[in-house]
Structure 1
């Protein structure tokens, strides 16, 4: 490629800060540097790094971390610099298969290389998180129970329950129908006094319903639909899968940006995640899975699945009203109670009922059998259920 071509150059010997000014004669892969009485005969293969500069190019003889490296700077056009770089890369590729692969990548167009990098990272990420999903299968269900119980202690200490014989009867009958046979979980429902119309489940099978949901429910099937959805979260181990994903993500970030494994920072981070992960909102995929699974639970018992959709519609209306009233002044005590309650429901509840999700749920319900059973307790008992904790609803509305 180069046949006895001469270029102006400078040679830094790695000792003196003053370079030797001279010329370099390039013939094949041999570089002869001449400066007065000084001469250096170098082979292109000897240089460990090649850098393009605004004046031409710079060749570094050895890695800087070893010691200060001799450097040869060649003053030439961009075209000649590119040609010399190609010649250097070709010499490096001939060293070994590993070098051939590495330097072939270096030769690629930056845009193509960027696109390829994104694809590779995407593929690795996909299999990484799929692998994390499989890790959950290796964790015993008893761990779900322990995690749930640790969070339950915190919740029970902050909220006042107001269960009655009617609510116990209703949820006992509903659980008998909805919980799938052979479930490894022990489910129990408690009612929390609050006007917020929502519900959430812990990984140990403890499910909490806010009394506002029962007070405002249009029918039993609404509450049963929400119950089925929360049971699905527990049965599908969404809490543990969240924990594993969060821990795996933390580990991946630590390995990429600088691991804190040496001083146990990662373990500390993982512990913090473990104490809070159960109060994180579920991902869209988990919510979709819970929707689909809950509909299947209801249909298996010939229960009407339309109640869940009805609940989401009311949730949407509630969210709109709540947004519109944000600027209005409210009673300080009521507002404080709502803030505390909302802080938990924001974390623990299902995601807001988006239009997209409601459309998917509606399509799912319409595509299968409707279910004929809409009640699990008598109308009298249901009225008693709806009247639970009304003092909390009335105090919040003042």
Structure 2
């Protein structure tokens, strides 16, 4: 059988005579005898040709597929079977690797996120929170009502007296097209103007803010961030760290408005938020009516779309409303009537809002 061989060291290709025996393939190339055990031969189909090689060697031998089958019909089929077995083994290993990655993402990362969050230095978490705040400030600008911002800042300071946390709680009203409040790593709590409008009493707004502050105290926020970072790390491992795909996933999935918590974490923040208010002598009765009223919007459409934003990140509202109601205690309002009026008008003086109102009219 004739073939064309290359030694793998130069570009030269030589015509060679190939002999196939029961156990090996032999040919002479450049004065050197080559004996390839059939068990070590790799066969790669190339249309009408077959390229043969021996594992661990650079030399390549190309022969006619028809000649290969005719001259070594009793041999070529076992070689092909070995190639197919290797392919099946590779597919099986890839499947095992895929399952391992999925288990790591959906089981390993969540299990490790708690210890990682507790081990995160507060200074690092605070710096991370500032980065989040700077990015979100471009999309969700702070409301222009400085009196309201000062009142909310003072309320955040007062919450610290009832908390066991290394972080300063900084509460800020922002403009955003959603009914929501969310905590950032390191203690900043953002409250949207639509959520302020949805709150009917000072107690309701205070309860939501205390709930978010409890997430900070219990390191739930950092735990959610670690889950996101873990996913990004796996993506970098799979597609290659130089691509930045993992970093992009972190930016997309790690948006502070979409950090989600487990049911246990939400229940813990509900209870702890009420405890914080009660320790300060403030009313903790606002959480239940707020959740109950928002949950009533769930089957609606249209105007309730913004409410659904809150429900998507704070699930099980009715069940949590019942639990909050059972724990609720009377106390003084978190804000005076004048302070509440200022908070309600936090974004009314914003030039952006005045322009929108004029355009709408």
Question: Normalising by structure 2, what TM-score?
Answer: 0.65
Q: In 2, distance between residues paired with 1:362 and 1:226? A: 15
Given that residues 224 and 307 in structure 1 are in contact (C-alpha distance below 8 angstroms), is that contact kept between their aligned partners in structure 2? no
Shift of 1:12: 1.7
In structure 1, how many angstroms separate the alpha carbons of the residues matched to 2:256 and 2:27?
Answer: 66
Give the alignment of 1:1-398 within 5 angstroms.
Answer: 10-14=3-7, 16-17=12-13, 19-20=15-16, 24-27=19-22, 29-32=23-26, 41-45=35-39, 47=41, 49-52=42-45, 58-61=51-54, 69-71=59-61, 73=63, 75-76=68-69, 81-86=76-81, 106-108=87-89, 110=91, 112=92, 115-125=95-105, 126-127=107-108, 130-131=111-112, 134-149=115-130, 155=137, 159=142, 160-164=144-148, 167=151, 171=155, 175=159, 181-192=163-174, 197-241=179-223, 243-245=225-227, 247-260=229-242, 280-284=256-260, 286=261, 288=263, 290-298=265-273, 300=275, 301=278, 303-304=284-285, 305-310=287-292, 312-313=294-295, 320-321=302-303, 352-354=309-311, 358=315, 360-366=316-322, 370-373=326-329, 376-377=332-333, 380=337, 384=341, 387-389=344-346, 391-392=348-349, 395=354, 397-398=357-358
Structure 1 residue 140: Cα displacement: 0.9
How many aligned residue pairs are there? 333
SS of 1:123's equivalent?
Answer: helix
1:173–1:312 Cα change, 3 Å: farther
Deviations 1:146-172 (A, max 9, x none): 333455578499532433599459936
- Residues 74-107 of structure 1 show CA distances to partners (whole Å, capped at 9, x for unaligned) of 6228996442245x67xxxxxxxxxxxxx98645
* 1:342 paired residue number: none
CA distance in 2 between counterparts of 1:201 and 1:356 reads 12
**Cα pair 2:109 2:227 within 8 Å, conserved:** no
Residue 119 of structure 1, CA deviation:
1.6
Secondary structure of the 1:59 match is strand
Supply the RMSD in Å over aligned alpha carbons.
Answer: 5.2
Structure 1 position 290, deviation (Å): 4.9
Counterpart of 1:297 in 2: which secondary structure? helix
- The alignment partner of 1:137 has SS state of helix
Query: Where do 5+ consecutive residues of structure 2 fail to align?
Result: none
Q: 1:60: Cα distance to partner?
A: 0.7
TM norm structure 1: 0.60
Long gaps (5+) in structure 1: 1-7, 90-102, 324-345
